[in-house]
Amino acid sequence: MYMNVILSFRTANEFGDTQEFFECNLPINKAEKDAFTFLNKKFFKAVLKKCELFNRKPEDLWKISTASNWGLFEQVTNKPSLKNMGHCCKWFFNDEINELDFWEKDIKQLYGFGINY
């Protein structure tokens, strides 16, 4: 599944940018348990690697925004896509901006995203 990703950070890099952009392709297996588990296992690890590649601290990350063909997950697995379950396909890690849901809190703890907030 092809994804466009925007990572938004609290502090700017040496060029004054607070965002990093990347694309990724996540392989979907017909036997995926559900969309949440799929992204937990594949996507957030990729985000962690990109933070390292961009020389960014994961604890400085406050938002992940994505665009994708979310319906592809449903086509391959016959299970609801994230979008069809009502998720906005954005993850926030700063309670001051947006109250975190259970998934964001879990991701924050697992990967250290946004712990500077």
Give pLDDT tens digits for 74-95: 999 999 999 999 899 999 998 8
Instruction: Give percent above pLDDT 90 in the chain.
Output: 91
pLDDT at site 96: 82
Sheet with 2-9, strands from edge to edge, namely 19-25, 2-9, 61-68, 90-92
Q: What pLDDT score does 99 carry?
A: 87
* Percent of the chain residues topping a pLDDT of 70: 99
Is it the case that residue 117 has pLDDT exceeding 70? Answer: no
What is the average pLDDT value for the chain, to the nearest integer? 94
Instruction: Kindly list the domain boundaries of the chain, sorted by start residue.
Output: 2-111
